């Protein structure tokens, strides 16, 4: 993803990598734990949901990126 598409994201460094490197939910949880040491799994999933809402608004199902 281009860095110009990451505005509004709290963790753009996660998303600017090649999408095949994003991995699984466990990969996100590991990344989040490194960034926020005292966070819970709930915090991680809540933050991920917010990030995905932002990305979904930028790359809805009718965009080339959203069709993935």
Per-residue model confidence (pLDDT) at position 3: 62
Q: How large is the average pLDDT for residues 49-67?
A: 75
pLDDT digits (tens, 9 = 90+) for 30-45: 999 999 989 999 999 9
Contact 2, 17 (CB under 8 A): no
**What's the chain's average pLDDT?**
85
Dihedral angle computed from the Cα positions of residues 57, 63, 67 and 68, in that order, rounded to the nearest 10 degrees: -80
Per-residue model confidence (pLDDT) at position 56: 84
Above 60 in pLDDT, residue 16? yes
Measured distance CA(16)–CA(4) in Å, rounded: 9
Measured distance CA(30)–CA(11) in Å, rounded: 13
Greater pLDDT, 58 or 60: 58
Which residues neighbour 23 within 8 Å (Cβ) at sequence distance 6 or greater?
A: none
């Amino acid at each position: 993803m281009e860095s110009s598409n990451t505005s509004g994201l709290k963790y753009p460094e996660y998303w600017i990598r090649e999408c095949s490197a994003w991995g699984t939910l466990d990969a996100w949880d590991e990344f989040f734990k490194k960034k926020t040491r005292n966070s819970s799994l709930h915090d991680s999933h809540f933050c991920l949901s917010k990030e995905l809402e932002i990305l979904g608004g930028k790359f809805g199902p009718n965009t080339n990126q959203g069709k993935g």
